[in-house]
Every structure is written in C-alpha cells, then in structure tokens.
Structure 1
Amino acid sequence: MKRKTVSLKSKKEFAASEIDACNSWQVPDFSIKDIRNAIPAHCFERSTLRSFGYLFQDLLFIGLAGYSASWIDQTTSSSSPVRFLAWSTYWIVQSFFGAGLWVLGHECGHYAFSSSKFISDAVGMMIHSSLLVPYFSWKYSHSQHHKSVGHLTKDRAHPPPLRSELGLAAQTHKHKQDNYTNTDTDTDTDTDNGTHITGPHSHFEDSPIYILLGLITYISTGTIYYLLFDVPCEMNKNKWVSHFNPNCYIFTKDQYWKVHQSTAAVAAVIASLFYAGKVLGWLVVLKYYVVPYLLINCWVILVTYLQHTSQNVPRYDSSVWNFQRGAALTIDRSYGPILDYIFHHVADAHVVHHYISTIPHYHCVEATKHIKAVLGEHYMSDNTPIPKALIDTWIKCRFVEDKGGVRFYKNH
C-alpha cells in the first residue's frame, strides 16, 4: 500500500491533508471478468487430496505441540519460571496451528477445500465445531460479508461507526470529499469559542491506557461476541441477533435446520470438554484447550481486522460501491513466511480470495501475482510490521463521516 507521509504543523494542515486524500482517491473501473481472465486456469483447480494433506499436516502439528506440552509439568518444578515460560510457548505455538486449522474450515465454507460440497461441508463442520464455531451459521453470515465487502453499511466485517454515533460534534464547513458526493469538513467546532478543534472528543479516550485496554478487549473478545450476541450493521434488532438463533435476520427459513445442526455440533464439543474436565481435571482442559482456543480467536479477529481496516483505505456507500470495487478495498499483509504458511496465506493473499473465493489457498499466492497487473495501483498491500500496524490502525481508524460516497477512517 502506498503511504503518504505528511509533516503536519497545524490543525488546519491536518484537516487539509485528509481532504487531499479524499480528493486524490481514484475509484477503479475494472470488471470481475478482467480479474478472472488474468488468473491461469490451473489456479482454479481444487484438489481434495491435496487439501486433506494440509488438514493432516495441521492435525499433526497440533498433536506434536500437545505431546510436547505433556512433558512440561514432568520436567519442571511448579514454582519454576521455566514452567510458565514453557506453557506460554505452547499456548502461542498451538494458537498458530489452531488458527491454521480454522482457516481450513473457512476454506470448506467457500468450497475451496474440495469441489465436492458434501466433503467440504463435512470437513468444515468437524473443524469449526472443534473450535466452537457453528459451521453453517458462520458460513451463511460470512457469505454476506463477501457479497458486501467494502460497503459502508452492509459489510459486517469490522464496520466503522459514524461520527454521529460516537456523539462527536457535527461538522461545520463544506468541501468536496470525492467525485460522487459532497460532505462536510473534517474538523469539529468548539462551541465555547468557535475555534476548530481536532482530536478525540475526550482526552481520556486518547490516553495510551484507554487505547490499549480498548484494543486488548476488542481482540480478545471480538470473535466470541460476534458469534454469540451480535452481527454488525443490523438496523432492526428486535430479536436476539446471534449465530445460534435461527430465527434472527441473518438466516433465511431454508437455513433453519442447518443452524440447529451447527449449534448441536458445538454443544457436543462443549459436552466433550466437560467430560474431559471431569475425567482428566479442569486444569488440563484449561491448559491444553481453553487457553489456545482463546488465542486462536485473537488471531482470527486480529487478522480480519487488519485485512479490512486502514486509515489509507476507505469504505464506499451505495452510490459508489459495486462488488469489484469493494473487493479492491481488501489489504494483503504478510506475517512473515512461517506464519503465512501456517495460516495458509489467508492474510498475505487475501485480496484475490475476495474476488474468487473458491480458489484454494495453495494457489492464492500465484493468483495474486497475476491480478496485480489488472488492479494496478488499486492492489492494496501493507508491509508495516503487524504490531505497529495494529496499534496505528486502532488509534487512527475510529469512525467515518456521516455523509460521502468515499469515506476514509478518521480519529478526530
């Protein structure tokens, strides 16, 4: 991703720089056919055998990590910091492998695992249920994310709040934000003296501690909260909006029993964990399963957040959005060659996935090279180190304006 570094000496310069970003943004005009034609035919081929090979590889890695952890308590004293370090290492490493397994379940939901829908759904059900994800329920809601990716109000993946939803002061000036619609300016007005102000509406909310706690809470609870209690962008929440409620707006009537099947499968895994806790001890279940499970969810929310959020990439409203334009707002980010491989390239080759989701992960890197020629400057990638990118994005991407066809994230 091309990043423009600006030295800001005043609040007026800061506002002007954001106006320039809006005015300089070019909305792409390529078609899905252009994308498809650029990708070699073999990249569309799905090998069930090869996919099972990656599945067995992930299960082997998970098994070896668990076996290695079984020696920790036998070889270290309970009060030794070495024991805590060893368990911490296991939790982190196992979360890597578990996240990779999660991605294979995600591929099953797109039928990228196999051309056989039965095989993909059967494998996906087993994988995601083992990770306490209701397979069909998540599959249905995730498909809606793909259909509306990059749309300001319809995309359910990390949708930005509006300025008005945060209770920030209304804008006071007009400027042309993009070629499709006029919006207000980027500055707030101090009602006491009429001067323009920038920055969050609360100094407390701008404090490092508040920002860090907010980020930790979001990363650690986002996935579970999303599954249990809420799917963003719903305008009418008269019912419990949940992946476990077949009667909520997420699902159609013909998906009713599939949602129940997914819930039953997750319930069976939870029951198995309770049984294991009674037989083996709750501490065993906590150390071997629960902690890695929580960290896997952190990876899921972290990766998806950075795939679709950046201060340099806008969201489109209905006056501008179409599928290919929305997909071009996806961002490829590398986590290093080892994690990219373990994560099955879900992060470093995600743009192409949003154009053609049935391409298996083992072809996505090659396919990405070919679509770059079509996307040109509209191919988004960012090599910023992940920790820095995460913190910068969390600080700078607080909301978008209430009006505008092309709306960039802001924090003031």
Structure 2
Amino acid sequence: MTATLDRLSTDRLGPLENVTLRDVIKTLPKECFEKNSRKAWQQVGLSIVMAIVGYVAIALSPWFLLPFAWFFAGTALTGWFVVGHDCGHRSFAKRRWVNDLVGHIAFLPLIYPFHPWRLLHDHHHRHTNKQDVDNAWHPWSIETFTSESKLMQTAYWLMRGRLWWLASIIHWAGIHFNLSNFAERDKRKAQVSIAVVVIFAAIVFPTMIATLGIWGWVKFWLMPWLGYHFWMSTFTLVHHTAPDIQFRPVETWNEVEAQLAGTVHCDYPKWIEVLCHDISVHVPHHISTGIPSYNLRMAHQSLKDTWGDQVRIREEKFTWNFMRSIVDHCHLYHPEQAYVPFKALRR
C-alpha cells in the first residue's frame, strides 16, 4: 500500500516530488519577510478612515443607496479583519503583545474572538486541503452527505451553492466559541478572547438599540457585518476551490502541492484589493504566514518567476462565470475527479 501511495504521489507531483515547503520558502527574497511598521500602521489608518467613510455614507444615504453604503462599509471592515489576520500570524508587529492587542481591537466590531480564530486558522495552514482535517470548509464526501439528516443536507446544499456568501457565519458561530475545539493549554486564551467580544457586544448592542432603535442596530451594524461576511465567505471559498483543485486524504497529502498548487490567486476590482489589503494574493501567504500582507505581491511574483515552469500557480479573475464554476459544481468530494455536483446524486 505504501509503495502504491508513493507512486501516486510521484506521478502527481512530477518535478516537485522531492521538493519541501522549506525549499520553496528559501527561494523567496528576504525582503518579503521584513516587517515595516510604517506600512502596517498605514493599513490600520486606511481601514479606520474607510470604515468612517462607510458609516457616514450609511448615515447620509437615502434608502435606495443604502445597499451600496452597506457593501462599502462591509468591505472596509474586511480590511479590519486582514489587519487582525496579520496580527494572528505575528506578521503585523515584532512584539507579540502588540499583535495580540491590535488583533483583539481589529476583530471587535466583527464579534470575532481573536485567539480562537488564530488557533483554528493555524490548523488550517498546517493542513491545507487535507480531506477531513482542514477546518476551512473541506468538502463532504458523498457518503458523509447522504448519511446526514435532511436538515444538515439542506444546510450544506445551500452553503456550497448560491448562498455561499452566508457560509462563514455558520463557520464563525459553529467553531470559534466552542472551547472543546482547543487544547487545554490554549483554553485560557480562548476564554479571554471570547469574553472580550461578549462584553463588547453586551455594551455596544444595547447602547445602539437604546439610542438608535432596532433599525439603527440593523442599519449600522448588522448589514455592514453581513457585507463583511460576504467577503469572508468568498475569499475562503475562492482561495481553495476550483473544479480541478483536489483535496487529498492524509496518506497522499503533500504540503507543496497543497500550498503552492492548491491555493488560488484571484484578481478583484482594485478598490476591493486596496480596502482588503491584498488578502486575495493568497498563494505566497500559504507558502509562509510570516509574509506581511503588504509584501504578498512581491512574494507572488517571485514564486511565479521561480516555480512557474514547474507547477501551475493558479491565477483567476473574480467574475460571475468564475464563481458559477465553483458554486454550481464544486459540491462533493471525489477522490479522482476532485468534485462532483449535487446533481450527480440524482443520476
């Protein structure tokens, strides 16, 4: 069995069969890993200013322009998440306490507990595209799907289909507040982060409702928050999903294939990439989480120049046709075909 798996791995990886992730990292310029406090705090400033612009637009917009203001504010809040994302990977600042403090503050308006997200997200990076192990939306097998209740089947059908943009809300609520998901040594940190967002919500939400009413809470918090989750869901799905990107079982999983060839770079409209601090430049981020977001484009170009002749580094453009190729097909895990759509079950 081992010999067969080795042969399959060799056939699949070709020239990369003897390459390790460390080998790939060594080819990146050292400048990619340099932390620049000025650039880091410029990102913070940009996110704060753009969020203010978004909320002013919400306050001043007539009803028919509110959806645009909500979407802009939600996109600006995604920039807050990316700042916290760098903090979680310790690539924002050199001092850990600065990363932890800024990360908690950046995640507050999103009601995201910082340490639970950081710990679970690290697991995703260690096990990217590893079937049944990766915790960032690995696809269900046909057997798993058919064995679930009708309620769970319906929920999965919706989240992997045209309602993909709500999936990160389920992910947020389902795993980040459950202390059983964390090792004993990490539970204290998880409890602190959960307490921070619960206290924040317990103070801010009643205050908003008391002063602005229920509609004010919906208008100024819930709708921008849903806009943020649209991007959270979309980025997570697009970064690791395509009709030919395969999740692998533990026995045949290879870190270079998963991180270099199993992640996707997607070009979005420029204003989105600016507000979201280039989080869509995702391939180098999976090669090394130590690369700050403002250096991702440099690292991406280096990977293309060095490894582009040996492996296809995925580059896509965010269009409805591209999204449809994912949400209309990439439903259920298949060990040879990568994915089969739900309609295959009816044949």
Q: TM-score, normalised by structure 2?
A: 0.86
Match of 2:290 among 347, 350, 358: 358
Q: Within the alignment, does 1:392 sit opposite 2:325 as a pair?
A: yes
Partner of 1:181: none
Where does residue 263 of structure 1 map in the other structure? 194
Shift in Å, 1:408: 1.2
Which position in structure 2 is the counterpart of 1:408?
Answer: 338
Bigger Cα displacement from structure 2, 42-51 vs 293-302:
42-51
Structure 1 residues 94 and 151, CA gap change in structure 2 (3 angstroms):
same
> What is the aligned length?
322
Is the contact made by 2:161 and 2:328 (CA closer than 8 Å) also made in structure 1?
no
Say whether residues 1:290 and 2:222 are aligned partners. yes
Partner residue, 2:32:
43
Aligned: 1:336 with 2:269: yes
Question: Counterparts of 1:363-378 in structure 2 under 5 Å?
Answer: 363-376=295-308, 377-378=310-311
> Partner amino acid for 1:56?
G
Q: Secondary structure at the match of 1:382?
A: strand
| Alignment correspondent of 1:245 | 178
Which stretch of structure 1 is more off in the superposition, 211-220 or 263-272?
211-220
- Tell me by how many angstroms 1:69 deviates: 2.8
Question: Judging changes above 3 Å, is the alpha-carbon distance between structure 1 residues 212 and 264 closer, same or farther for their aligned structure 2 residues?
Answer: closer
Q: What SS does the aligned partner of 1:133 have?
A: coil
More helix by share: 2
Q: 1:366 to 1:407 in 2, by over 3 A?
A: same
- Segments of 5+ residues of structure 1 without an aligned counterpart are 1-21, 73-82, 169-204, 230-241
Distance of 1:23 and 1:398 partners within structure 2: 27
- Judge conservation of contact 2:239–2:282 (CA < 8 Å) in 1: yes
Identity %: 20
What runs of 5+ residues in structure 2 fail to find an aligned partner?
A: 1-8, 148-152
Q: C-alpha deviations, 1:365-389, integer Å up to 9, x for none?
A: 0111111234325243233443222
**2:173 matched residue in structure 1:** 228
Structure 2 distance, partners of 1:61, 1:26, is 43
Distance 1:212 1:388, change over 3 A: farther
Amino acid of the structure 1 residue aligned with 2:144: E
Cα pair 2:20 2:255 within 8 Å, conserved: no
Q: Are residues 1:85 and 2:64 paired? A: yes
- Could you give the per-residue CA deviations for residues 219-272 of structure 1, whole angstroms, max 9, x where no partner exists? 22x22211222xxxxxxxxxxxx32222x1x21111111111111111122111
* TM-fit CA distance, 1:145: 0.2
**Relative to structure 1, is the Cα distance of residues 384 and 35 closer, same or farther in structure 2, using a 3 angstrom cutoff?**
same
Contact kept in structure 2, 1:158 and 1:308, CA below 8 Å: no
Q: Distance in 2 between matches of 1:167 and 1:283?
A: 41
- Whether contact under 8 Å (2:70, 2:223) holds in the other structure is yes
Q: Secondary structure at the match of 2:263?
A: coil
Aligned AA (1:64): V
CA change 1:336–1:218 in 2 (3 A) is closer
- Equivalent residue of 1:333, what SS? strand
**Structure 2 match to 1:235:** none
Residue 132 of structure 2 is aligned to residue 153 of structure 1? yes
- Measured in 2, the distance between the counterparts of 1:315 and 1:212 equals 21
- After superposition, give the CA deviation of every residue in 1:31-61 in whole Å (9 maximum; x if it has no partner): 2233222211111111233211110111011
Aligned equivalent of 1:57, options 46, 50, 57: 46
Which position in structure 1 is the counterpart of 2:84? 105
CA distance in 2, matches of 1:373, 1:296: 33
Q: Which has the larger radius of gyration?
A: 1
Q: Does 1:305 align with 2:237?
A: yes
Cα distance change on mapping 1:346 and 1:214 into 2, 3 Å: closer
What is the letter of the counterpart of residue 173 of structure 2?
A: L
CA RMSD in angstroms, aligned pairs only: 2.4
Q: Please report the TM-score for the alignment, with normalisation by the length of structure 1.
A: 0.73
Rounded Cα–Cα distance in structure 2 between residues aligned with 1:146 and 1:338: 27
Instruction: Give yes or no for the alignment of 1:217 onto 2:163.
Output: yes
Give the drift of 1:133. 0.5
